Structure 1
Amino acid sequence: MIELNKDNFEEEVLNFDGKVVVDFWSESCDHCMEIMPEVKKLAEEFADDFKFAKLDIKGNRRLAIGQKVLGLPSIVFYENGEKVEHLSGEDLEPEDIRKELEARA
């Protein structure tokens, strides 16, 4: 998974011609840390269809807010630079992410 920050977000996500999944997370978000291993497995499984990246909101809070990410964890789907889906919340499960990946693959 690509590590995103304010310096490479535009290039890796907004200017990318294809499908990108961004995991917005924080070390202080217990649920983020809990689902991260499953998100990494999904990244490997769906690597042929999607570019996977993650953005630690620590130090990138303005960028996250600019993307309308106000809660964690947030999994945001982009196609050709356009935000097309946003999954978020304490009840977010890896199976929810899998269903969205399968629908968009």
Structure 2
Amino acid sequence: MALRVNEDNFNKEVLEAEVPVLVEFYSDSCVPCKQMSPILGDLEEEYEDKLKIVKINVNFDLQLAEAHMVMGSPTFLFFKNGEEKNRLRGITKKPELIEIINSIL
């Protein structure tokens, strides 16, 4: 299951990560976010040592969402070496996520 990240550990878990990171900004009440959960779980297994997947709850960590200009849930940010490399918003098909992941690995 994806690690829950907040303002306290964002730098360590995302910006300083040794592998690329897929960050999902989500909300507990967001139906599309819930639909994305199994896809993210599959990706976690498939990219186990090559990619880290973390989740940020926009209801509890609004400052992080605002700092990264997240306007809706779900929003996916892709980081490598501490820099945002790509982003997607809304329900997303697995092949589209894989294409971006492979492009940053």
TM-based fold match above 0.5: yes
Q: Taking every aligned residue pair, what percent have the same amino acid on both sides? A: 31
Which SS does the other structure have where 2:37 is aligned? helix
The match for 2:93 is 93
Contact kept? 1:17, 1:81, Cα under 8 Å: no
**Count of residues paired in the alignment:** 104
Structure 2 distance, partners of 1:7, 1:42, is: 25
The match for 1:68 is 69
CA distances 1:41-61 after superposition (whole Å, capped 9, x unpaired): 111101221111111112101
Q: Please tell me the residue identity of whatever aligns with 1:70.
A: M
Aligned-residue RMSD, C-alpha: 1.4
Structure 2 distance, partners of 1:46, 1:16, is: 15
The match for 2:29 is 28
TM alignment of 1:9-24, pairs within 5 A: 9-24=10-25
Q: What TM-score results when the alignment is normalised by the length of structure 2?
A: 0.89
Contact kept? 2:20, 2:79, Cα under 8 Å: yes
The match for 2:53 is 52
Structure 2 segments unaligned to the other structure (5+ residues): none
Contact kept? 1:23, 1:76, Cα under 8 Å: yes
Shift, 1:104, TM fit:
2.3
Q: What TM-score results when the alignment is normalised by the length of structure 1?
A: 0.89
Structure 1 segments unaligned to the other structure (5+ residues): none
Which SS does the other structure have where 1:58 is aligned? coil
Structure 2 distance, partners of 1:31, 1:93, is: 11
| Between 61-70 and 11-20, the greater mean CA deviation after superposition | 11-20
Structure 1 distance, partners of 2:17, 2:101, is: 18
